[in-house]
A and B are shown apart, each in its own frame.
Chain A
């Protein structure tokens, strides 16, 4: 089964997402490399990150500010740890929380100093991170200074810093940008493709033989207009070829059939039974010419627009047209209508298929055979006969019978194929033949 092709919108969306992801990855790598190489910047970010996290424990009350170490930080800033220190104090120097001993207090600003809004100090260069700093946060009555010292960063605070950086400063703004770009792209594509959809809807109505059925190029984007013009040129070319083929088959028919007509009329004047034999051969030859020209016409026949097919009406016309020939050959014919449903197709081809099957039944059955043409139920017709068929060795024709080379049935099969249907041949045990042509509903 052929995979359904993707729509242009789906292709463009996928590509935009892919390239946006690629750009984000590139930017991420660049930011990480740049930040990683700048220890002071890293320290700055780490102090800021931890200060904000610690400030979550501040609560403003009527009597002043109190502090409770946030649950997730209790392990990191536990009393007695020697690598992560925190001190929360008011601007005036009242300490609300501290896991810091006298030695570590030296790393922070003295309590009697009015602190700046933010400060950071590198305690040792390079990695792992050794840094101390503080951030003044405004909480109600007076600003509170949150001070942090990180010595070695065993808890990988830097990972959390990077994750926060990526989430807040890259993913969120770029996702918003991506969404806007995607919506704009989908909208633009749909708008640009509207005339293309209109042109595509016109395609089934193109008849290569009729210039007036070409696609309109007005109002189309340049690239699409070029494609449409190319399609129109291709249709012109197909039309020329179809026209040439039509002329060719017509000329062949004329060149062969006129001498055949002469021979027929000449032979009628000869009473000898051998003349009847030659007449029969000429008829077979004529049938061969007919079928070859029909076969030639079939190629490209599906380039013209389809029409609504009423099988019941068509079968009535074909049976009416062929009945005189059927009865003249000593056979009988009837039409049984089981109720067909209308479908889209090529009337001349379907009529040709039905004629071919009836013709086949007339030519290849024993005298007194009965031919039954059935239509429906649904988009199907069948031609049944109860005749005994002549085997090839019994016919001594000078011209190979078209039946022997299977041309008639090949034509019918091809016509069914052109419509997306199929031909089925059954030979019931009681004799005769049933040829069924199914069309898609």
Chain B
């Protein structure tokens, strides 16, 4: 994986570069919008991390320019601006996600992983969260290389939850996915599938927790030791 980091603060650039290296990814770090344009023009990146307050212009304009220029790479905005309208305008400009400063390394890397998973042309459709992984093509789930036998509905639920790991997945999204199995969907089909999945994950030390957010949906999250 190769990332481009656009951040004007020298020290923050160094620290972020270090954090991204720690995740095993390569990173090119630049300080200005102009350098970012040049970098994107000559190299292919899997993810762009863009700070909004750049010395030679607004990061939002840079994001808009990339999108207008046909750049499909996921973009994660790093910014000090936390107002909801500003987050909305960031996403409207074409960014895929928004991270408000200050943040910790874990949060940054989790967001990066989520965006990298969303990349449409991922060559290896294997999702990993902590020690849990799911090979979508082979239909195999495993925890620390120990296979977990999952029924098709459980696998579908797990795939959606892992794709959105760290975020709440609305219950209706899971209902929609399960309704594609063709059978009449019972009112508690999602609860049943999640409950069974949770039971199957429990004996494994997978480092993830499957939470039920009553009234909203479900959250698959990494549990820190």
Q: A408-430, CB under 8 A of B: which get 1 and which 0?
A: 00000000000000000000000
Nearest B residue (CB) for A246 = B83
Interface positions of B from 140 to 172, Cβ below 8 Å from A:
166-168, 170
Q: When chains A and B are docked, how far (Å) is the Cα of A320 from the Cα of B101?
A: 20
Secondary structure at chain A's binding surface: helix, strand, loop or mixed?
A: helix
Contacting residues, chain A, for B100 (C-beta < 8 A): 257
Q: Among the listed B12, B84, B209, B215, which residue makes an inter-chain contact with A261, where contact means beta carbons less than 8 Å apart?
A: B12
**A253, B170: Cβ atoms under 8 Å?**
no
- The answer to whether A257 and B102 touch across the interface, beta carbons within 8 angstroms, is yes
Contact between chains at A253 and B80 (CB < 8 Å): yes
Q: Is the CB of A293 within 8 A of B82?
A: yes
What residues of A have a CB within 8 angstroms of the CB of B211 in the complex? 323, 327, 332
From A286, A320, A337, residue with most partner B Cβ within 10 Å:
A320
Assuming the contacts A293-B82, A348-B84, asked whether A258 and B16 have C-beta atoms less than 8 A apart, the reply is no
Shortest distance in angstroms between B183's beta carbon and chain A's nearest beta carbon? Answer: 27
Is B80 within 8 A of A320, CB to CB?
Answer: no
A335 to chain B, nearest CB (A): 3
Q: From residue A207, how far is it (CB to closest CB) to chain B in Å?
A: 12
- Are B101 and A260 closer than 8 Å at their CB atoms? yes
- B104 on the A face (CB < 8 A): yes
Rounded to whole Å, the gap between the CB of A197 and the closest CB of chain B is 32
Does A351 count as interface, using CB distance less than 8 angstroms?
yes
Interface residues of B in 119-145 (CB under 8 A from A): none
* Chain B neighbourhood of A319, CB < 8 A: 168, 213, 215-216
Closest to B103 in A: A261
Q: Are B104 and A348 in contact (CB under 8 A)?
A: no
| Contact yes or no, B84 A265, CB < 8 A | no
Q: What is the CB-to-nearest-CB distance from B160 to chain A, in angstroms, rounded to a whole number?
A: 14
B residues near A266, Cβ cutoff 8 Å: 15
* CB-based nearest B residue for A321: B168
Q: B189-225 CB contact bits vs A (8 Å, 1 = yes)?
A: 0000000000000000000010101111101010010
* In the complex, chain A residues whose CB is within 8 Å of the CB of B71: none
Check if B9 is an interface residue, CB within 8 A of chain A.
Answer: yes
**Which A residues between 180 and 212 are near B, CB-CB below 8 angstroms?**
none
- List chain B residues, Cβ under 8 A from A328: 221, 224
With known contacts A265-B104, A320-B170, A258–B12 Cβ distance under 8 A: yes
Query: Is A261 a contact of B83 with CB atoms below 8 Å?
Result: no
Question: Is A316's CB under 8 angstroms from B101's CB?
Answer: no
Question: Closest approach, in angstroms, between the C-beta of B221 and any C-beta of chain A?
Answer: 6
CA distance A334 to B213 in the complex (A): 5
- Other-chain contact of A323, B19, B85, B216 (Cβ < 8 Å): B216
A263 touches B102 (CB 8 A): yes
Q: Which of B80, B82, B215, B221 contacts A327 (CB 8 A)?
A: B221
Range of interface residues on A (Cβ < 8 Å): 35 or more
B216, A316: Cβ atoms closer than 8 Å? yes
Our pick among A260, A294, A320, A348 for the contact of B213 (Cβ within 8 Å) is A320
The yes or no answer to A271 lying at the interface (CB within 8 A) is: no
Q: Does the CB pair B11–A262 fall under 8 Å?
A: yes
- Cβ contacts under 8 Å, B209 to chain A: 327
**Closest partner residue, chain A, to B222 (CB atom):** A328
List residues of A (30-87) whose CB comes within 8 Å of B's CBs: none
B170: chain A residues at CB < 8 Å are 316, 320
Let me know if B64 is at the binding interface, CB within 8 A.
no
B9 to chain A, nearest CB (A): 5
Question: Could you say which of A321, A327, A337, A347 has the most chain B C-beta atoms within 10 Å of its C-beta?
Answer: A327
- List A contacts of B168 (CB < 8 A): 319-321, 323-324
Which residue in B84, B101, B216, B224 is a CB contact (below 8 Å) of A335?
B216
Chain B residues near A347 (CB-CB < 8 A): 84
Given contact pairs A257-B102, A323-B211, A352-B84, A265 touches B216 in the complex (Cβ within 8 A):
no
Pick the contact of B166: A286, A324, A335 (CB < 8 A). A324
Determine whether the beta carbon of B216 is less than 8 Å from that of A290. no
- The answer to whether B81 touches A253 (Cβ under 8 A) is yes
Q: Are A290 and B101 in contact, with the CB atoms below 8 A?
A: no
Cα distance, A297 to B9, chains bound together (Å):
26
Using a CB-CB cutoff of 8 Å, which residues 332-381 of chain A contact chain B?
332-337, 347-348, 351-352, 373
Instruction: Please give 7 more A-B residue pairs, beta carbons under 8 A apart, in addition to A293-B82, A333-B213.
Output: A262-B15, A265-B104, A320-B213, A324-B221, A327-B219, A348-B83, A348-B85
Q: 6 tightest CB-CB pairs across the interface, nearest first?
A: A335-B215, A334-B214, A257-B80, A320-B168, A261-B102, A261-B101
